[in-house]
Structure 1
Amino acid sequence: MSDDASFGYLVRRLRRLADLTQRDLAHRIGYSVVTVRKIEADERRPSRDLAERLAQCLLTLPDERQSFLALARTPPTVPTNLATPLTRLIGRAEETTAVRHLLTDREIRLVTLVGPPGIGKTRLSVQIATDLTASFPHGVFAVAFGPISDPALVIPTIAKALGVKESAAQRLLDCLIDYLDSRKLLLVLDNVEHMLTAAPEIARLLTACPTLKVLATSRQPLHIRGEHLCSVPPLALPAPGRVVTAHTATGYPAIELFVERAQAADRTFQVTEANAADIAAVCARLEGIPLAIELVAARVKLLAPQALLGRLDSRLALLTGGPRDLPERQQTLRGTIDWSHRLLDDGEQALFARLAVFIGGCLPEAAETVANADGDLPMPVLDGLEALADKNLLRQEQRVDGERYSVFFETIREFALERLIERDEATAVRQRYAAYYLRLAETASQHLTGREQEAWLDRLEAEHNNVRAVTDHHIQHHDCGQALRMVAALWRFWHVRAHQTEGWRWIKLALALEGPHEVRHRAQALNGAGWIAQDQSDPAQALAAFTESLRLCRVIDDKRGIAEALHGVGGQLQASGNDSQAIALFSESLGLYRELDDQEGIAWSLDHLGYAALYLDDPDRAMALFEESRGLFQRLEHTWGNAISLHHQGLTMMARGKHDLALSRLNEGLSRFEELGNSWGVAQSLYHLGRLAVRVGDHVTAAARYRGSLTLSQTEEDRTAMIRSLAGLGSVAVLQGRLSLAARLFGAVEAFAESQVLRLTPLESAVHERDVSAVQSRRSDPAVVSAWSAGRSMSLTQLVDYAMGSV
């Protein structure tokens, strides 16, 4: 058994050796597929019982089982998104030690690394954060602000890095505070200098979350109370006049960096007595600025150190006519970038400038379309990208979608953008850039409801900075038509991937524009606004948006748009108890989809009608509709639709009192949701399996299912689902005869329901009302009355913690 294998890796390897699927293993050990998946991903630490079951299933030798169980109980690795640097950090021992001491001081919450561009703040922050991983058990996460230009995106960007999703009833900042509260976590905020107006929100996070710490990098202080500044100096150089030899040269960090990067470019490069002084002079001329040294060292394949020095002296001398308002060290860096740029051939210079429009990187395909649309580059774009990367003007990185992206350092991108303007190509290239990402967004939107949904969602996630920049470009230029096209194409991405705050902002800004546009794009944007408002628990805004979308679709006779908007309006009416009106709209939608022969639309309309019948306590009609809907989803190989249909059939069987069939359908739906990795569906399935267990009097299974649902709903920040699970645990407490515990839970649910719509099916309502009555019948008991009152005063977070430890 390998000593360096993680427990998850070991389980995965042993499972595959045993020729078992995750589902097979889950069945054998009596746990869910989600649990097995999380164990193998090292996202969950197994209980002793689970570890012993895994050992019994996967291992035969007693000695192996003992080692296996010991590894299972080893504390899990700290969650982090820190990139693993490809090169070692040189010459920063003093700064690293100093900042580590600051961040491990209990009284210090914010440390900012300050210094000019290219000085190495980002690389230093990554090293410090990596060194401190063990000190922050809840995680160390890097957040890059370089790709964003709007301070309003600071909180969404932090939330995305942490995996925090927006709650239906909370602002994203509050969701973030709830997540970070009591977590001992380090945030590394990079390139904060152009987001300084968002400093108050960073301060609020620190104030509200006492165990959170922040390491920031910036060209200037954040000016937040309690901030500790650490100035990042240039790399150490020989003192003026000091003789540098081959033996002593690499004792100076600036020279050491030069040599290491030069050897990466040319394996045969060595420091000799003949070139040591020239190397030292080059580094001195570059003032010890790491980025400048790296750019110049990459040229040793073509120029010896003496030749580099001559050319560098000549170029930097020309800088005196440049921007005198820049600090001297920053002028040196600009001059170095300019010098490196002048060594590019004409084609490379053109590509370098045109790539500046991309925010956060680009795929080769995008570079070819935007930077070489006219075919005027003398070399293939792929060769140009490789050449720029070889010269350290560009870096390559792999993204979440598995593709390789070409990315500028932000300082170099600023310089490249100036060159693009000088070439008088900025307008044309920006237009091609905007057109490319509009096509991408509209192509993706056509695949966000079918089999390829996840792949296209991942593609948009990887390109989020660019589609965001294009949307902002159209809004800033008051281009109503293009802005509406962008948000109409992107709303499903924002909706599904929980970017509601940002999505709502873009849609609202686009809808506020005036100017020529197609009505269908406005209608589609309004439909998206309705779904996102629903996500944010704003039923009034959702109904208004859906209603206006429906009106516009009727004006232009867009039948598919009408059918889709009818689903939205009908859903809002049903949630407010207007079932008959909702059914009329769902029926109209069904007729339109049948006329269009849109099989997926027909299936969803039937599902909506089935769910409405379930709320009207007509399970027989509901089952007939769900079966017809599922038949269509099966023919379409629509996994998501199949999962929903099976789930709804399970609810219907429960309403009919056919508990065995209900259990079968709900478990089958649960398996589909697990295959999809859809945590909302898993949480819903567990909740209703808990209800079913209560119905048959199995309080042990019911408690386990409700706790599982509550945990997932808390992760998803789904307040409504959390409240329903807490109500379910209250019923479990009644089943156990623990009425004071039930009183506390029901009291809290009562308080939450006063500010949030909580509609239950007739069967759910009957069980809930029965159990609440059982508790209220004991009003003469002071303990029950006190518990009910205490529950009403508890926060949702407090109540979840209490319920998880008590039921």
Structure 2
Amino acid sequence: MAAVATFGQVIKHRRRALDMTQRDLANQVGYSVVTIRKVETDERRPSRELAERLAHCLRIDPEQQGAFVGLGRLEPVPATRSNLPAPLTRLIGRQAEVDLVRDTVMRRGVRIVTLVGPPGIGKSRLSVEVAGELRTVFPDGVCFVAFAPVGDEALVVPTLATALGVREVAGTPLADVLVEHLRDRRLLLLLDDCEHLLGAARCFAELLTACPELRILATSRAPLHIRGERLVPVPPLALPSTRHDPTAETVLRSAAVELFVERAAAVDPAFRLTDANAGDVAAICAGVDGLPLAIELVAARVALLSTAAILARLNHRLTLLTDGPRDLPERQQTLRRTIDWSYDLLEPGEQLLFARLAVFTGGFCLSAAEAVMDLDAATVLDGVTGLVDKNLLRQEVRADGERYADFFEMIREYALERLVASGEQDRIRDRHARYYLALAEQETDLDRLGVEHNNLRGALEWHIQRDDADAGLRLVAALWKFWHIRSHHTEASRWVTLVMHLSGEHDPAVRAHVLCGAGWIAVDRSDHVRAKAYFDESLALFRELGDPRGVAEALHGVGTMLQASGGSAEALALFEESLVLYRDLDDTEGIAWTLDHLGQSRLGLPDAAGAEALFEASRALFQRLGHAWGRAITLDHLGLADLAQGNHARAAERFGEALGLFDELANTWGIATSFEHLGHAALAAGDAARSRDCFRRSLQLTQAEADRAGIVRSLAGLASLAVVQRQSQRAAQLFGALALLAEGGGTLMNPVERAISDHLAVVHRDLDHEAMARAWARGARMTLAEAVAYATDGA
């Protein structure tokens, strides 16, 4: 182990030595594939429990297990953030362009650079190369955003947020959350394939205006027409000179021929460029205008055809083709004709599969293709393999370890045209939509749903186009928890609105489930008025249908709304009704969540001892179910009950345990909340230094996530700290700022607000009326950013 530098490298080395995939290891240790991937890349530090499980599953020598676990608990060295694709082949013949684009991006005053050119010219590959070289220049990293699968301008902002890892903030437009997240960051955004979303370019311009350190590198077939945009046209690859008789040595000096030779050798290791075939290869590259994608398509044919045969067929096709759109630019016509040529060389079965695969958006795995294509499994496997070999499909391994295939966007457009022309589009799209509806209703792995998000969007769009209310509502009912947990609140709200307006026949029970989910999405957005309306309608419909499980679930939402408005006693009655229903159904998870809700109501009455007993019962059930999220939530609530009863040491212990679970779940909200609560526990115990550290860590996390409500709560903790340190003027100014900020953001303080209220009362006693009013007024004029700066100045 000593030869490997980091814990992540140890894991990867041992896993491969044991011939295990990341999924194999994840299944053995009982954690998600994403967790294993992040540990292997040193993005996450494992808990002691996870490190010990890894030691066992990876068969670490017992004498070395202590050192192994110790290495895992060391803080990883932070790396510059980047989600750039990892190209599997080298970039050929583009050094001059790389230098030009890199220098343009870094030029003083330049904020956005757009690589423009026809499809297949290599814009995306060039941009990734440049961004890779600039990773170390931008302290906050490089973020790659693929827009090719995004067909609706309304999804541009959610797509940006997902790529950046930005969580939505209740009550704040997602575009504003993005601005807050990026405002002070020195980061490069790489926006790929923007040409079909030109109407959303205003969003990019607004980000640049609000975020002075942000730079954008975009690729598009057309300019974005943003003020200050610098355009860099991407030329074709250099072609060989035709002045002299071509030889292998002379033609290989051109980038186009070099690319052809490398790609040809990849499909036929015996291929060699010789003086005998040099003229054919040079003519082939010239015939496709030096377009990299066209060269790759043609080069793949050397496995079956000689270069002379390729040239003869290609020249014939390019000369005689008449069915391509005549209004396209010349080079775009060349690429289309090259794809036509490649398509014509496919066997009929391959042509059929090629067209049908266009139904997938953002790629597909083999099992999905087998289910949707209406062909036998062997035909699909052989066909996909053949299309990959012919460069009509590209393959990659996704974060979940599964192999996916996808089209280049221009080729998918072409394949989709073929699908429409075949008359099969409706039938294949129906099969695609049914497959992804079934997947959503059966799949509980959020990572898998995340990988398939673009295909799930495509299925939803199809149901909406067909006014298929039953399927549309079923799909939203299956997906709302995924959107809720992964903070896709803006997008979720849009889909809910669209499917709720479909007029086709549907199951009322499914509609009731959608209404309940819509209520929680509205809570996420701090729209409590709409949330209450959704929950009330859902409950009424479930009661009308006589659905006890639905009633029990909807009661949680209605009760939560009552509790949020101060009606803990009324909420208690609803939660007790829900508990009876879940017990009659013998639904252990439902019982566990209801006990937790009952505990929260008791805590609000206040009845901390009664709340603690309920939280303990809930935690025990979640423990039995192996439900990490439920355990984390109830442990946090147990800590609050301990804090309310003055047991600071036990509260800190509970919050620390919850922190460990939230960390394993990679749940930033939970981690930040745990630090905030640890700060209050330390403050109550008289440990000002520990309290300050916890509040600041909570504030850092909530700022990184642009979580307005979390920022306000963290600042309230620092205001309480100022009271304890007898800094009454400072505390009064912060409380003045927070009163307005909490109200403006629809923020509800958590159960430790009683302690905060006590500290506010101390400030009122310490300051006379005029001093209090002046400090409060100064705070009330502060923006959120100013309040953060003031709270952390000297803290």
TM-score (norm 2): 0.89
The alpha-carbon distance between structure 1 residues 134 and 480, as it changes in their structure 2 partners (threshold 3 A), is same
* Aligned pair partner of 1:792 in 780, 787, 794: 780
Match of residue 190 from structure 1? 192
Q: Deviations over 1:488-525 (max 9, x none)?
A: 11100000001111111011111122121111111111
Residue type of the alignment partner of 1:708: R
Deviates more, 1:165-174 or 1:679-688: 679-688
Superposed CA deviations along residues 523-547 of structure 1, whole A, max 9, x for unmatched, are 1111111111101111111111111
Residues 476-625 of structure 1: pairs in structure 2 closer than 5 A: 476-625=465-614
Give the deviation of 1:461 after TM superposition.
0.2
Aligned to 1:31: none
> Are residue 776 (structure 1) and residue 775 (structure 2) matched?
no
AA partner of residue 731 (structure 1): S
Q: In 1, are the aligned partners of 2:642 and 2:648 still within 8 Å (CA)?
A: yes
What is the distance in 2 between the residues matched to 1:387 and 1:13? 33
Question: How far, CA to CA, are the matches of 1:523 and 1:648 in structure 2?
Answer: 30
Q: Which amino acid aligns with 1:438?
A: L
Cα-to-partner distance string for 1:677-721 (whole Å, 9 max, x where unaligned) = 333222222222221222221111111222222222233333222
CA distance in 2, matches of 1:665, 1:745: 29
- Give the equivalent residue in structure 2 for 1:430: 429
Query: In the TM superposition, what is the alpha-carbon distance from 1:761 to its structure 2 partner?
Result: 6.5
Aligned residue runs from structure 1 range 578-727, under 5 A: 578-727=567-716
SS of the residue corresponding to residue 228 of structure 1 reads strand
- Structure 1: how far apart are the matches of 2:298 and 2:355? 19
Deviation at 1:150, TM superposition (A): 0.2
- What CA distance in whole angstroms lies between the structure 2 residues aligned with 1:84 and 1:769? 53
Cα offsets for 1:625-676 (capped at 9, x unmatched): 2232233223323222222222222222222223333333333333333333
The offset of 1:41, in angstroms, is 5.3
Cα offset for 1:40?
Answer: 8.2
Contact 1:779 1:785 in 2 (8 A): no
Aligned-partner SS, 2:396? strand
Name the structure, 1 or 2, with higher relative contact order (CA <8 Å, separation 6+).
Answer: 2
Q: Distance in 2 between matches of 1:130 and 1:312?
A: 36
Contact 1:168 1:717 in 2 (8 A): no
The 8 Å contact of residues 180 and 706 in structure 2, kept in 1 or not, is answered as no
How do 1:83-232 and structure 2 match up within 5 A? 83-232=85-234
Question: How far has the Cα of 1:738 moved from its partner?
Answer: 2.2
Identity %: 54
The amino acid of 2:506's aligned partner reads H
Which of the numbers 357, 360, 377 marks the counterpart of 1:358?
A: 360
For the residue of structure 2 that corresponds to 1:498, the secondary structure is coil
Counterpart in the other structure of 1:806: 794
Are 2:409 and 1:417 aligned? no
What's the secondary structure of 1:365's corresponding residue? helix
Correspondent of 1:754 among 717, 736, 743: 743
Cα distance in 2, alignment partners of residues 579 and 771 from structure 1: 24
Gaps of 5+ in 1: 15-35, 46-67, 448-455
Q: Deviations over 1:39-92 (max 9, x none)?
A: 9855599xxxxxxxxxxxxxxxxxxxxxx9xx9998x53211111211111222
Task: Map 1:341-352 onto structure 2 (within 5 A).
Answer: 341-352=343-354
Determine if contact 2:167/2:707 at 8 Å carries over to the other structure. no
Give the whole-Å Cα distance in 1 for the aligned partners of 2:333 and 2:39.
Answer: 52
1:394 aligned partner, one-letter code: L
Distance of 1:236 and 1:670 partners within structure 2: 57
Shift of the alpha carbon at 1:260?
1.2
Q: Work out the CA distance in 1 between the residues paired with 2:505 and 2:679.
A: 53
| Aligned equivalent of 2:289 | 287
Q: Distance in 2 between matches of 1:626 and 1:95?
A: 62
Alpha-carbon distance in 1 for matches of 2:671, 2:137: 33
- Post-superposition offset of 1:758: 4.7
Distance change >3 Å, CA 471–CA 5, structure 1 → 2? same
Contact 2:172 2:745 in 1 (8 A): no
Secondary structure of the residue aligned to 1:166 is coil
Relative to structure 1, is the Cα distance of residues 757 and 414 closer, same or farther in structure 2, using a 3 angstrom cutoff?
closer
Please tell me the residue identity of whatever aligns with 2:394: R
For the 8 Å contact 1:567–1:605, the answer to whether it is kept is yes
Mapped partners of 1:255, 1:357: distance in 2: 34
**In structure 2, C-alpha distance between the alignment counterparts of 1:466 and 1:155, rounded to whole Å:** 18
C-alpha contact (below 8 Å) 2:181/2:703 kept by paired residues: no
Amino acid at match of 1:735: V
Match of 1:601, as an amino acid?
G
Query: Residue type of the partner of 1:408?
Result: F
Partner of 2:722: 733
Which letter maps to 1:571? T
**Aligned ranges 1:4-153 → 2 under 5 Å:** 5=5, 42-43=42-43, 76-153=78-155
Opposite residue 520 of structure 1, the aligned amino acid is A
For 1:160 and 1:759, locate their aligned partners in 2 and report how far apart those are by CA, in whole Å: 26
Deviations 1:333-352 (A, max 9, x none): 11111111122212222211
Match of 1:367 in 2: 369
SS in 1 for 2:79: coil
Moved more, 167-176 or 472-481: 472-481
Which letter does structure 2 place at the counterpart of 1:428? R
Q: CA deviation at 1:482?
A: 1.4
Distance 1:732 1:714 in 2: 19
Letter in 2 for 1:651: L
Please report the RMSD computed on the Cα atoms of aligned residues, expressed in angstroms.
Answer: 2.7
Letter in 1 for 2:757: E
Q: CA deviation at 1:255?
A: 1.0
Partners in 1 of 2:347 and 2:12 — Cα distance? 50
8 Å contact 1:319–1:331 — kept in the other structure?
no
Question: Which stretch shows the higher mean deviation, 429-438 or 413-422?
Answer: 413-422
Judged with a 3 Å threshold, the aligned counterparts in structure 2 of structure 1 residues 324 and 202 are, in CA distance, closer, same or farther, namely same
SS for the counterpart of 2:516 is: helix
> In the TM superposition, what whole-angstrom CA distance separates every residue of 1:351-383 from its partner, at most 9, and x where no partner exists?
11111100011010000011135x3x8x43222
Is 1:767 aligned with 2:769? Answer: no
- Equivalent residue, structure 1, for 2:26: none
> Which secondary structure does the structure 2 equivalent of 1:693 belong to?
helix
Opposite residue 662 of structure 2, the aligned amino acid is F
Deviation at 1:96, TM superposition (A): 1.8
Work out whether residues 297 and 392 of structure 2, in 8 Å CA contact, stay in contact via their aligned partners in 1: yes
Tell me how far apart the structure 2 counterparts of residues 239 and 761 of structure 1 sit (CA, whole Å).
73
Shift of 1:229: 1.1
Letter of the aligned partner of 2:792 in structure 1?
M
One-letter amino acid of the structure 2 residue matched with residue 643 of structure 1:
A
Give the whole-Å Cα distance in 1 for the aligned partners of 2:613 and 2:44.
Answer: 40
Does the CA contact (< 8 Å) of 1:614 and 1:761 recur in 2?
Answer: no
Name 2:462's counterpart in structure 1: 473
For 2:483, give the aligned amino acid: W
Q: Matched residues in 2 for 1:123 and 1:733: separation?
A: 53
Question: Would the alpha carbon gap of residues 128 and 663 (structure 1) be closer, same or farther in structure 2, given more than 3 Å must change?
Answer: closer
